[in-house]
Each structure stands twice: as structure tokens, then as C-alpha cells.
């Protein structure tokens, strides 16, 4: 099976040590690799991952353009870069168009780091332009181990889907970390993609399998949230869920292949 990891993180070499140290302290957790692109590629080799999608986060509006320039340069046969957007960025329409011109197929936003609710008014122009340019909107969803707030709720994302039926949305952490009952109630079965990042070991296996099947395995993507998990262990956990071979192949790579191809 060709494995695609739809949810990874990397930083420029010069800032990776500081960024990783800060995030480790904030989340009281340890990174599995050093946060560099070389570290990511080495971990991919260890876990037999063919392709990783890098998902950057801009914590300030002024970081957006520089992040997008840096991440676009990472594109290769093994790295698919997504861009960054921030709800406070002054001209999202122009920057989303520029992202598309750089070859980026989507962008990530994080409700906790960026202090927004997905359905709020200032998000509407960003989401509308993303749909216009056929960009994938990738969101952190649910709780975050470094924060006490939960802004990216299943109900908020359901409102986004209602308001923007033409938008392709991917929600990390199976639709909402530690919010899986609400995900089952408000999002399961809807036209939205979920990734598995940071879910094995937190959601019991039988509940994980039920959520996958209630939603539709064809709209679930493998994600490790690297460097914050060991991707080989995450893959092993997914293999042990009791999925059919077709479901497993889809989640580990085929679904991502299809989604990325649709947004080239």
C-alpha cells in the first residue's frame, strides 16, 4: 500500500529548534523528530510513508506570505505543501490566488492558535474565495493539548458546511479532538473529509471504527500530526482497527491520492 500522511509539520532549519522546544513545553509532550524537513523525511523512511502533506500554521497575519513562500519551495515527489492563512490577514482573496499560483492546493487554519470560530463573519470571505479557487481548507478541529479553549467545534464546522457547500474541507483529529460524540452527531456522513491525526490511543478502537464507518471510510485520511506522534505506531493502530482491505488502503493513501488529484 502506498501511504500518504496528510497531516505533518516542519519548520525552516533556523527556527525548528526553538519552535519545537516552545511547543513541547506548551503541550507537555515530546516531538518524535526535530521539526526539520530532513527530520520529517527520515521519519517517513522509517515508517514507509511515500508522501507527506506539510500543514503550516501562521500565528500572526504578518507571517502568512513568508510561510507560503517557504512552504511552496518544499514541493517534491515526497512533499505536498499546503499554505497558511490567518483570519486577520488584510487581503485573503489576493493571497489565496497567489497560493494557487505557487502550486499550493490548500491551506491550514487553527482556531485556537488564531483565536477564531470557523463559522464567524470574518471567515466567510476566506472560505468563499477558497471555494472559488478550488483550494482545500484544512482545519485543526476540536481540543488542543496546549489550550483550555475549544473554538473549532463540530457545530461551528457544520455551519461552515451549510454556508459553503462548494468548499472542500478537511477536519483534523477525526473531526474534533476529544469532541467525537459531537462529531458523530453533527458531522458524520456529511461531505467533509476527516483525518486520523492524534486519534489512535485517545478514542477507543471500537468507537474509532464506528465513527469511520458512520462517516464513510472513503472520506477518511491518514494523518500523523508529526512530529507529535510516531507515524509507524499510528499506522499500526489503524491496521488493527478491523477495517476491510479496501477501507484500509483508502485511509492510508488512496483517498488522499484522489483528493489531491482533484485539486491539482
Determine the pLDDT at residue 37: 98
Question: Residue 203: pLDDT above 90?
Answer: yes
Q: Dump pLDDT digits (tens) for 14-49.
A: 999 999 999 999 899 999 999 999 999 999 999 999
Average model confidence (pLDDT) across the chain: 97
**Cell numbers linked to 207:** 468507537
Q: Which CATH number do you get for residue 35?
A: 3.20.20.140
Q: What is the DSSP letter of 162?
A: H
Domain extent for 35? 4-262
pTM: 0.97
In angstroms, rounded to a whole number, what is the distance separating the alpha carbons of residues 34 and 28?
A: 16
Within 13 Å, how many C-alpha atoms sit on residue 115's CB side?
A: 5
**Residue 67, pLDDT above cutoff 90:** yes
pLDDT digits (tens, 9 = 90+) for 105-129: 999 999 999 999 999 999 999 999 9
Confidence bin at 1 (pLDDT 50/70/90): confident
State the pLDDT at residue 153.
98
Rounded to the nearest 10°, the torsion over CA 55, 58, 61, 64 is: -50
Please check whether residue 191 is in contact with residue 218, taking contact to mean a CB–CB distance below 8 angstroms: no
Give me the mean pLDDT over the 154-164 stretch: 98
pLDDT higher than 90, residue 178? yes
What's the mean pLDDT in 8-18? 97
pLDDT (0 to 100) of residue 29: 93
Q: pLDDT, tens digit, for every residue of 205-252?
A: 999 999 999 999 999 999 999 999 999 999 999 999 999 999 999 999
Total domains in the chain come to 1
End-to-end Cα separation, the chain, in angstroms: 22
Amino acid at each position: 500500500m502506498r501511504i500518504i500522511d496528510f497531516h505533518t509539520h516542519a519548520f525552516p532549519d533556523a527556527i525548528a529548534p526553538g519552535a519545537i522546544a516552545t511547543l513541547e513545553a506548551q503541550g507537555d509532550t515530546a516531538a518524535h523528530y526535530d521539526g526539520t524537513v530532513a527530520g520529517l523525511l527520515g521519519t517517513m523512511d522509517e515508517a514507509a510513508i511515500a508522501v507527506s502533506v506539510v500543514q503550516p500554521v501562521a500565528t500572526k497575519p504578518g507571517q502568512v506570505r513568508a510561510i507560503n513562500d517557504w512552504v511552496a519551495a518544499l514541493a517534491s515527489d515526497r512533499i505536498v505543501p499546503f499554505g497558511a492563512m490567518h483570519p486577520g490577514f488584510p487581503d485573503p482573496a489576493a493571497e489565496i490566488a497567489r497560493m494557487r499560483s505557487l502550486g499550493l492546493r490548500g491551506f491550514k487554519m487553527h482556531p485556537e492558535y488564531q483565536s477564531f470560530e470557523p463559522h464567524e463573519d470574518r471567515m466567510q470571505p476566506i472560505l468563499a474565495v477558497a471555494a472559488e479557487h478550488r483550494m482545500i481548507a484544512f482545519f485543526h478541529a476540536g481540543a488542543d493539548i496546549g489550550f483550555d479553549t475549544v473554538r473549532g467545534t463540530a457545530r461551528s464546522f457544520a455551519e461552515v458546511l451549510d454556508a459553503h457547500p462548494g468548499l472542500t474541507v478537511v477536519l483534523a483529529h477525526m473531526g474534533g479532538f476529544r469532541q467525537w460524540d459531537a462529531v458523530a452527531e453533527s458531522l458524520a456522513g456529511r461531505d467533509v473529509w476527516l483525518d486520523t491525526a492524534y486519534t489512535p490511543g485517545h478514542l477507543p478502537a471500537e468507537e474509532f471504527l464506528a465513527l469511520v464507518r458512520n462517516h464513510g471510510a472513503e472520506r477518511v485520511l491518514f494523518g500523523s500530526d508529526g512530529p507529535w506522534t510516531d507515524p509507524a505506531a499510528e499506522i499500526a493502530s489503524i491496521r488493527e482497527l478491523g477495517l476491510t482491505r479496501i477501507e484500509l488502503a483508502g485511509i492510508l493513501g488512496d483517498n488522499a491520492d484522489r483528493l489531491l488529484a482533484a485539486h491539482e
